């Protein structure tokens, strides 16, 4: 007690190390954020009767791989995982590439109509283009693309957000002189873009890519409509729930299993995700 109050009083500044309360709260948040996932793992590794008990066990059971086996038996897990990887990767590459190109153009090149077109991009940020699913659905059917991964990919090949994001980033980070110097050296436009624009844009491209990948990966409504027989991971996962004999320990094993890819991504790129979210808030 005394030591605590002493500690508290000593540094008047705000950069003192915080007390137990802070760490207590952090642990509460941590548990709140992870327990549902852990609970799913417990349930997913136990017989389903565990789910109806008042106090679920504290430790996972031994049936996880058996339940995972049933998940794979019930839905085309590996195919849908591959589908999701393909879909998310293609969308990410496309969005990052086209956004960087257009963002660079808006940020650093001068051309007639630039301001107007930029306002147009900003205006469309708030436009919920996903409400266009009905005609998109009809068009996909018309072209016979339904049931293919292309139908999932095409509607999100570009986003206004990506263009705006890259523009905002590039407008500050590339000094005009750098571009001019490149031009003086005789570089044409595309090689200037390649040698000056891209290197400068790389951090923003990584962040945009990360979020685009996440968004594509988590999308559910549109893939549900266009590739039912050939599902993405999210659609396959949801099918677990309406498969015959809904055994919730299997459903939850599936939920855990389907979370693993993003958890890996999170472990690898979690710092960038955090700084990306925070950068979106302060920078630019």
268 counts as binding another protein under rule CB under 8 A: no
Minimum CB distance to another protein, residue 3 (Å) = 18
Cβ nearer to another protein, comparing 189 with 202:
189
- Out of 1, 6, 12, 58, which residue is the one contacting another protein (CB under 8 A)? 12
Minimum CB distance to another protein, residue 147 (Å) = 3
Cβ nearer to another protein, comparing 78 with 220:
220
Whole-angstrom Cα distance, residue 51 to residue 101? 51
Would you give the binding string for another protein spanning residues 14-53, x where CB under 8 A is met? xxxxx---xx-xx--xx-xxx-xx-xx--x---xxx-xxx
Minimum CB distance to another protein, residue 273 (Å) = 6
Would you give the binding string for another protein spanning residues 183-212, x where CB under 8 A is met? xx---xxx--x-----------------xx
213 counts as binding another protein under rule CB under 8 A: no
- Out of 2, 3, 13, 20, which residue is the one contacting another protein (CB under 8 A)? 13
Residues 82-121 that bind another protein (CB under 8 A): 98-99, 101-102, 104-106, 109-112, 114, 117
80 counts as binding another protein under rule CB under 8 A: no
Inter-residue contact 121 to 164 (CB < 8 Å): yes
Of 57-65, 85-93, 198-206, 266-274, which part binds another protein (CB under 8 A)?
266-274
Cα angle value 44/45/51 (rounded, 5°): 55
Inter-residue contact 106 to 119 (CB < 8 Å): no
CA 52, 57, 60, 63 dihedral sign is negative
Which string of b and e fits 201-232 if b means at least 16 CB within 10 Å?
Answer: beebbebbbbbbbbbbbebeebbbbbbeebbb
Inter-residue contact 83 to 227 (CB < 8 Å): yes
Q: What is the per-residue DSSP string for 178-239?
A: HHHHHHHTT--HHHHIIIIIHHHHHHHHHHHHHHHHHHHHH--HHHHHH-SSS--HHHHHHH
Give the SS3 label for residue 1.
coil
C-alpha neighbours within 13 Å on the C-beta side of residue 32 = 6
Residues 118-157 that bind another protein (CB under 8 A): 122, 124-141, 144, 146-148, 154-157
Please count the residues of this chain forming the interface with another protein, following the rule CB under 8 A: 141
Minimum CB distance to another protein, residue 38 (Å) = 10
Of 57-65, 85-93, 198-206, 218-226, which part binds another protein (CB under 8 A)?
218-226
């Amino acid at each position: 007690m005394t030591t605590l109050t002493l500690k508290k009083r000593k540094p008047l500044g705000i950069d003192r190390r915080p007390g137990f309360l802070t760490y207590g709260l952090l642990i509460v948040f941590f548990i709140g954020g992870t327990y549902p996932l852990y609970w799913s793992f417990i349930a997913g590794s136990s017989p389903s009767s565990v789910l109806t008990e008042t106090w679920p066990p504290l430790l996972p059971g031994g049936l996880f791989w058996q339940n995972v086996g049933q998940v794979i038996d019930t839905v085309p897990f590996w195919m849908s995982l591959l589908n999701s990887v393909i879909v998310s990767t293609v969308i990410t590459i496309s969005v990052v590439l086209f956004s960087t190109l257009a963002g660079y153009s808006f940020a650093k090149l001068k051309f007639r109509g630039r301001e107007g077109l930029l306002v147009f991009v900003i205006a469309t940020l708030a436009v919920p283009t996903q409400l266009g699913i009905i005609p998109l659905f009809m068009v996909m059917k018309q072209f016979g693309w339904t049931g293919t991964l292309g139908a999932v990919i095409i509607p999100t090949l570009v986003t206004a957000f990506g263009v705006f994001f890259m523009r905002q980033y590039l407008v500050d980070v590339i000094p005009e002189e750098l571009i001019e110097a490149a031009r003086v050296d005789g570089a044409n436009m595309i090689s200037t873009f390649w040698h000056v624009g891209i290197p400068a844009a790389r951090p923003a491209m990584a962040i945009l890519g990360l979020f685009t990948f996440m968004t594509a990966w988590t999308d559910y409504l549109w893939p549900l409509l266009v590739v039912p027989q050939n599902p993405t991971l999210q659609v396959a996962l949801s099918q677990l729930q309406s498969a015959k004999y809904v055994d919730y320990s299997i459903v939850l094993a599936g939920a855990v299993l389907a979370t693993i890819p993003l958890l890996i991504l999170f472990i690898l790129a979690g710092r960038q995700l955090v700084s990306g979210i925070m950068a979106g808030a302060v920078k630019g």
